[in-house]
Amino acid sequence: MYRSPSEMSIAIKTPNEIEKMRVAGRLAAEVLDYIEPHVRPGVTTAELDRLCHDYMVNVQGTVPAPLNYAPAGYQPYPKSICASVNHQVCHGVPGDKALKKGDIVNLDITVIKDGWHGDTSRMFIVGDASILAKRLCAVTYECLWLGIAQVRPGAHLGDIGHAIQRHAEANGFSVVREFCGHGIGRQFHEEPQVLHYGKPGNGAELRPGMIFTIEPMINAGKAAISELPDGWTIVTRDRSLSAQWEHTVLVSEAGAEVLTVSPGMPAKPAKLG
């Protein structure tokens, strides 16, 4: 069967490599379990970063993948986690501003264990929040799982993006297009790119052994984004709220296996079955 160059560059992990990815994924998710009780009004995102860093390094024996990560054209990322608050879409750099009641914050964790990466993120509601904020977080989580539900051998990347886009837009929200999910393994970012919009049947065909992230970024307002002067933090151009959830997913013979699982991870949305 003919495969495009992009498809041929997508790594197929061996059973041994998949097991190492299960370990890395579980450890990444356990950082989010650990930090959840600390996400409260009055805490700074810098303090959350410090706590996560110490837990990763001293308790888990993992390496925080974001720290000093410097893809082409970027300055090294200065922190061990990403913390994106309210209208920040992704790659928020932790700082000294305290969280307040009503904020929503995405904490994005990537650890390296024995050379393999685990990558996951969750939304946290600080205290209580507006109906819009809670609905945005819930719909974005549904988008994540609707995308995961498309993952099976013989499906296509476009099936994932279409399911996410359809649900987000049906609820009056918009999908950020400049950032996407990605293959992951020994490298933080590998092929393929996993868009969160698209058409069914388009894109690379999914095969058992592929591992990638699905991480929809959904805005309450328009999809347009801007970059802050720090060179990393992405915000909504209209300053509307943004939410993101992320799992690392394996294409298995049976369908999809979520690798970023932990005892404290939120349950799959009930209405999705």
Residue 15 has pLDDT above 50, yes or no: yes
pLDDT of 1 strictly over 70: no
Q: Give the tens place of pLDDT for each residue, 62-89.
A: 999 999 999 988 999 999 999 999 999 9
Predicted local confidence at residue 270, as pLDDT = 85
Report pLDDT for 272. Answer: 73
State the distance between the two ends of the chain, measured CA to CA, in whole angstroms: 35
- For the chain, the domains span 5-272
DSSP 256: E
Give yes or no for a contact between 156 and 201, defined as CB atoms under 8 angstroms apart.
yes
Query: What pLDDT is attached to residue 273?
Result: 56
At residue 226, the pLDDT reads 97
The token pair at 126 is 């600080």
Q: Model confidence over 179-233: pLDDT tens digits?
A: 999 999 999 999 999 999 999 999 999 999 999 999 999 999 999 999 999 999 9
Contact by Cβ (8 Å): 168, 143: yes
Average pLDDT, the chain: 95
Q: At what angle do helices 45-54 and 15-35 cross, to 10 degrees?
A: 130
Nearest to 156, CA basis, from 207, 229, 110:
207
Let me know: does 255 contact 155? Beta carbons within 8 Å.
no
- H helix or E strand, kind and range, residue 7: helix 5-8
Question: Which residues touch 123 (CB under 8 Å, ≥6 apart)?
Answer: 104, 105, 106, 137, 140, 141, 243, 244, 245
Percentage of residues in the chain with pLDDT exceeding 90? 94
Res. 47: pLDDT tops 90: yes
Class of domain 5-272: alpha beta
pLDDT digits (tens, 9 = 90+) for 143-175: 999 999 999 999 999 999 999 999 999 999 999
pLDDT surpassing 50 at residue 4: no
